[in-house]
Amino acid sequence: MSANVTNFGANSLGFHRTGQVVVASGEDSQEEELKPFEELVKNTEKLDGLFPLYRHKNSGKIYLEIKPQQLNKNYLLTIAIESGIGQGQIYRGMGLNDAIFYFRRVNNNLLFTLRNLQFRTRPGDPQQGYINRSFSDSVLASLPIISIHPQRQTILIDMNDLLLKEDLADLTSNLREAFNAHYQLEENKSYFGNVQVFPQNVEVDSVYGLSLQAEEDSLPIVTLPDRRALTIAVHYSLSEIPENNGYVPRLADDRVGYFTTDYEDFSENQSNSPTVQYIYRWHLEKQDPSAAISPPKKQIVFWIENK
């Protein structure tokens, strides 16, 4: 059910998608100019897991290491508010976004890109090339490669470029929509909070300082001591997507109400309507498949935070 979207290239007629990364002829010389890997991670704390992180204890700067085989691979991004302002739907726990993303290398940069899953075909379908050329993915950030490990060939990027400098959570748009107010991220007021790394996911809290860009007499924010500045913490989860775990998606039925995930399927021999709807459902498996009612192999566990 995943979209097979490949990389962008260019030709004389416009853009087309290819299976190759666009690489400039001078890439080798560019790599020679990168700082030594071991020098950059010296005096850092390494957090090993899905994407190893290196955190400087004094400066707070964090580097993220990416293996070559992790490029162009789909991962899950989840964004939620960790601490808000108590007004205008900027509340703790509010979900801001969840999407499929991948890292794509172009020359000496990694493009943090959201996969377009709204328009799809079945793998190998003749319409696949048309879909790939017709609907764009979204590049949210271009991240300079700061070093490459000489043996592992792993790539090092600065997490500050992705989760502090960039408004990945789109906070400024949310504030503008809620209050018609123009706030701007201030990098010197922003920093990383709690950071955890596990084999299948990376959890990062980014604390953003924002400043009002133009004083507005009618600004309807009443929960701040001074509306010229505010602080919002955002929780990011970068997770591996389960594969071949037995989950079977279930099509929606108009006779029963469900929340759904929708997309357009332009595969050849598709029915009259290209819209496909799958219901939201838990992945529960019976311990005894032959029983009418059976305890699950793995229970659903809800965690309620106490902070």
pLDDT in the model for residue 298:
92
Segment 2-9 shows an average pLDDT of: 37
Comparison of pLDDT for 6 and 131, the residue scoring more? 131
pLDDT in the model for residue 260:
95
Question: What sign results for the dihedral spanned by CA atoms 256, 260, 264, 267?
Answer: negative
pLDDT tens for each residue of 228-238: 999 999 999 99
Segment 112-130 shows an average pLDDT of: 90
Rounded to whole angstroms, the Cα distance separating 286 from 295 reads 6
Are the CB atoms for 204 and 79 separated by under 8 Å?
A: no
Q: Is pLDDT of 54 > 60?
A: yes
Rounded to whole angstroms, the Cα distance separating 75 from 238 reads 7
Are the CB atoms for 247 and 230 separated by under 8 Å?
A: no
Q: Is pLDDT of 78 > 70?
A: yes
* Mean pLDDT of all residues belonging to the chain: 88
pLDDT in the model for residue 1:
43
pLDDT tens for each residue of 241-300: 988 888 989 999 989 888 999 999 988 776 678 899 999 999 999 999 999 999 999 999
Closest alpha carbon to 100 in 115, 112, 90 = 115
pLDDT in the model for residue 267:
85
Segment 100-124 shows an average pLDDT of: 95
Give the DSSP H/E element, type plus range, for residue 161: helix 159-163
pLDDT in the model for residue 17:
39
Lowest-confidence range among 2-11, 53-62, 278-287? Answer: 2-11
Cβ neighbours of residue 41 under 8 Å, at least 6 residues apart? 54, 63, 156
pLDDT in the model for residue 272:
73
| pLDDT band per the 50, 70, 90 thresholds, residue 57 | confident
Q: Is pLDDT of 9 > 50?
A: no
| pLDDT band per the 50, 70, 90 thresholds, residue 28 | low
pLDDT in the model for residue 67:
98
Are the CB atoms for 31 and 141 separated by under 8 Å?
A: no
Segment 103-120 shows an average pLDDT of: 96
Segment 66-91 shows an average pLDDT of: 96
